[in-house]
Amino acid sequence: MSKNSLQNNLWNHRKDYSVDEIDFEHIPQNPYELFDIWYKKAEEQMKGSSETNAMSVSTADKDGNVSSRIVLLKEYSNEGFVFFTNYLSRKAKNISHNNKVALLFFWEIMQQQIRIEGVIEKISIEKSKEYFDSRPAESRASALASPQSEVIQSVKKLKEDRDKILKSNRLDYPDFWGGYIVKPTAIEFWQGRPSRLHNRLKYVKDNGEWRVEILAP
Whether the CB-CB separation of 110 and 49 falls below 8 Å is answered with no
* Active-site hit among 14, 140, 196, 200: 196
Phi, psi of 216 (to 5 degrees): -70, 145
| CA atoms of 150 and 23, how far apart (whole Å) | 47
| CA atoms of 71 and 88, how far apart (whole Å) | 16
| CA atoms of 55 and 83, how far apart (whole Å) | 10
C-alpha 172: how far from its chain's center?
Answer: 26
Helices 137-145 and 125-134: crossing angle, nearest 10°?
A: 120
For the question of residue 170 being annotated catalytic, the response is no
C-alpha 21: how far from its chain's center?
Answer: 24
**Beta strands 112-122 and 100-107: pairing type?**
antiparallel
Q: Which residues are catalytic?
A: 196
